């Protein structure tokens, strides 16, 4: 989902892009990653590969760790060998959601579940393997090419008169198109190393996001309030995972509402 958007944006900007799907390049196989990077010798590598099944990670921690942890280190190490800047994607799930106000880059991390733990391990592996790195924490992604909340709501809204969506989880919905623009720009700014928080501007609950989606799409479906307790899942979710940046010159995305509008527009014209 994100990789597709990054390739599109980078290509439109005139970059020579070499993209690899999972079947073409398995990030858990260090030597294959190394050889692929040595062959291409890029100036920058954007690693969008991830195990993103939050609930599945609870019972398949080895796979999540291999991709999100060791795999991230493999990509960063290969990039370091050719002196390439690596941009690595991380997540709001490295935080426990207990702060009650927006999280900044220097806040202490404390993942609630296996997925967050493996993504944190990836951050650490990237930093250890390549001093020329940017770690981008983002959140609540939606876009073309992958399973996401917006598409799920559109499908449910077409079938039902009402849906129940939680109000007690708050975050920053982020359209992959907006995030991809920022990632490509960051790849061109190797001087901006370290951790970055980049997500849709503003914040909302999943319930509010569903209301916005139906409103923008012209779907007549009521959104009822619900609590996380009413929808138990294998993995705990951070209750408040709003991301903001404390950097001097942060990359700031458009409002999350603009992301929803832009994504729906691309769905109509696709």
- 36 within domain boundaries: yes
3-state secondary structure the chain: CHHHHHHHHHHHCCCCCCCCCCCCCCCCCHHHHHHHHHHHCCCEEEECCCCCCHHHHHHCHHHHHHHHHHHHHHHHHHHHHCCCEEEEEEEHHHCCCCCCCCECCCCCCCCCCHHHHHHHHHHHHHHHHCCCEEEEEECCEECCCCCCHHHHHHHHHHHCCEEEEECCCEECCEEHHHHHHHHHHHHCCCCCCEEEECCCECCEEHHHHHHHHHHHHCCCCEEEEECHHHCCCCCCCCCECCECCCCCCCCCCCEHHHHHHHHHHHHHHC
Q: Is there a domain that residue 261 lies in?
A: no
Per residue in 14-45, pLDDT tens? 999 999 999 999 999 999 999 999 999 999 99
Residues noted as catalytic: 115
Q: Is residue 65 part of a domain?
A: yes
Parent domain of 12: 2-148+172-202+242-254
Checking if the pLDDT of 81 tops 70, the result is yes
Query: pLDDT at position 146, please?
Result: 86
Q: Decide if 59 is inside a domain.
A: yes
pLDDT in tens, 233-242: 999 999 999 9
pLDDT at residue 265 greater than cutoff 90? yes
Q: What is the mean pLDDT of residues 211-223?
A: 97
Q: Residue 165 domain-assigned?
A: no
pLDDT of residue 267: 85
pLDDT for 100 equals 87
Summarize the confidence of residues 180-196 as an average pLDDT.
Answer: 97
pLDDT at 269 over 70: no
Give the chain's domain count. 1
pLDDT in tens, 144-171: 988 999 999 999 999 999 999 999 999 9
Is 226 part of any domain? no
Is residue 26, in this structure, part of any structural domain at all? yes
266 lies in some domain:
no
Q: What is the CATH number of the domain that holds 6?
A: 3.40.50.720
Using pLDDT thresholds of 50, 70 and 90, give the confidence band for residue 115: very high
């Amino acid at each position: 989902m994100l990789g597709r958007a990054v390739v599109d944006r980078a290509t439109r900007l005139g970059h020579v892009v070499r993209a690899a799907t999972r079947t073409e390049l398995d990030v858990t196989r260090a030597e294959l990653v190394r050889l692929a990077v040595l062959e291409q010798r890029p100036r920058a590598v954007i690693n969008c590969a991830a195990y993103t099944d939050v609930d599945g990670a609870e019972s398949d921690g080895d796979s999540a760790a291999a991709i999100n942890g060791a795999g991230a280190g493999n990509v960063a190490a290969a990039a370091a060998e050719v002196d390439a800047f690596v941009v690595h994607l991380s997540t709001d799930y490295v935080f426990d959601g207990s702060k009650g106000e927006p999280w900044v880059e220097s806040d202490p991390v404390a993942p609630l579940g296996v997925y967050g733990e493996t993504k944190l391990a990836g951050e650490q592996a990237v930093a250890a393997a390549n001093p020329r790195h940017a770690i981008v924490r983002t959140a609540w992604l939606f876009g073309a090419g992958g399973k996401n909340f917006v598409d799920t709501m559109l499908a449910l809204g077409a079938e039902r008169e009402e849906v129940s969506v939680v109000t007690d989880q708050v975050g920053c919905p982020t359209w992959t198109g907006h995030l991809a623009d920022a990632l490509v720009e960051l790849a061109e700014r190797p001087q901006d190393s370290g951790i970055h928080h980049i997500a849709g501007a503003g914040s909302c609950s999943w319930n509010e996001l569903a209301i916005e989606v139906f409103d923008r799409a012209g779907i007549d479906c009521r959104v009822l309030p619900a609590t996380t307790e009413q929808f138990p899942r294998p993995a705990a979710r951070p209750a408040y995972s709003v991301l903001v940046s404390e950097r001097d010159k942060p990359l700031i995305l458009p409002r999350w509402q603009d992301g929803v509008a832009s994504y729906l527009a691309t769905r109509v014209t696709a």
